[in-house]
Amino acid sequence: MSSVGLLLLCGIFLGVAPAGAAGDAVTIDAAVDGTQVGEGELLLDPTRASRISVTVHNGTDTVRHIKTVRLSGTALALTFFSYDTTVPFDVPAKQSVTRGFVLDLGQLGAQATGLLPTEIEVLDTNRDVIASIGVTGDVRGSVWSVYGVFGLAVFGLTLLAWAGALIALARRRLPANRWQRAMRFLPAGVGTGLVAVISLSVLRVVAPSPAAEVPFLLGAAAAAFALGYLTPHPDADDFPGDPMGPGPVDPADPESTQRITRPLPGGVA
């Protein structure tokens, strides 16, 4: 009976504890221009202001003091736009409060474009994040925005990395060690992965996220690493000779044959 009672107690704790933990949290729901956040992509148009509505659900036993609502977008662990709006209100314990405001996104077109992970957060009076909700934002910005220029800069650096590695390969100036040759190609591979992630984001195919970034980065880096490792070994004759010693001997050139004198018996050379 003791074992049966122990199993029952474990079942009670496992079944009840998560429900209590979920009820003690602070969560939010949000809508932008009437579209519920979380239902598909969130359109962010810089040419017009957006109406944002935020509902805070307070499942705790204390009053939560809300001061700021933040709308931000990130990619590759970098924040490319962030808007903080002061909307002070209190949410009593075990209750929900909804507040709405109009947000001017006029500067968004110069900050980002394409699909970006977007978050709506509520902050307290100490500017600590109380709760947040994430969504994929469809930013209708300019290619010459900060995010677009960042992608073009990564593309240019990647071209330089590939050009340097391939020119060294053509001139047989790569290191003789295979691992060193592979490391010479690795930066070009990482850059290729970054260009792929940013391009798919700007073209509104896939938003940057760990699930999308890691395969592209690891795949491109591994391919470039393998390419450098398998490049042909530079021949020893391709390296310049010692300037202090005799140069290479050409059998077809009689003048290049060095004459070596040896002493003969009796001291006659």
Q: Which range marks the domain in which residue 174 is found?
A: 146-235
How many distinct structural domains can be found in the chain?
A: 2
Question: Is residue 243 over pLDDT 80?
Answer: no
Q: Are residues 81 and 112 in the same domain?
A: yes
Average pLDDT of the residues of the chain: 82
Q: Is 86 exposed, middle or buried (0-12, 13-18, 19+ CB in 10 A)?
A: exposed
Q: Are residues 107 and 175 in the same domain?
A: no
Give the CATH number of the domain where residue 130 resides.
2.60.40.10
pLDDT tens, residue by residue, 75-130: 998 999 999 999 999 999 999 999 999 999 999 999 999 999 999 999 999 999 99
In a domain, 249, yes or no: no
Give the other-Cβ count within 10 Å of 107's Cβ: 12
Alpha-carbon gap, residue 82 to 125, rounded angstroms = 18
- The H or E element containing residue 182 is helix 178-202
> Of 83, 108, 139, which residue constitutes the final position of a domain?
139
Q: Are residues 152 and 199 in the same domain?
A: yes
In a domain, 29, yes or no: yes
Q: Are residues 172 and 119 in the same domain?
A: no
**Per-residue confidence (pLDDT) for residue 256, from 0 to 100:** 46
Question: Is residue 17 over pLDDT 50?
Answer: no
In a domain, 75, yes or no: yes
In a domain, 51, yes or no: yes
Q: Are residues 186 and 205 in the same domain?
A: yes
Confidence of residue 249 (pLDDT cuts 50, 70, 90): very low
In a domain, 14, yes or no: no
> Of 119, 139, 159, which residue constitutes the final position of a domain?
139
DSSP-based three-state secondary structure for 45 = coil
Q: Are residues 104 and 41 in the same domain?
A: yes
Q: Are residues 34 and 133 in the same domain?
A: yes
In a domain, 88, yes or no: yes
Amino acid at 192: T
Tracing tokens 């307070």 back to the chain, one arrives at: 58
In a domain, 200, yes or no: yes
Confidence of residue 235 (pLDDT cuts 50, 70, 90): low
> Of 100, 116, 139, which residue constitutes the final position of a domain?
139
Q: Are residues 168 and 129 in the same domain?
A: no
Residues pairing with 232 in the sheet: none
- CA-based end-to-end distance of the chain: 112
Q: Are residues 202 and 112 in the same domain?
A: no
Alpha-carbon gap, residue 34 to 172, rounded angstroms = 62
Higher pLDDT, 10 or 57: 57
Q: Are residues 183 and 230 in the same domain?
A: yes
pLDDT tens, residue by residue, 22-50: 457 899 999 998 888 887 889 999 998 99
**Per-residue confidence (pLDDT) for residue 167, from 0 to 100:** 93
In a domain, 164, yes or no: yes
Of the ranges 31-35, 68-72, 167-171, 239-243, the best mean pLDDT one: 68-72
Q: Are residues 44 and 74 in the same domain?
A: yes
Q: Are residues 115 and 210 in the same domain?
A: no
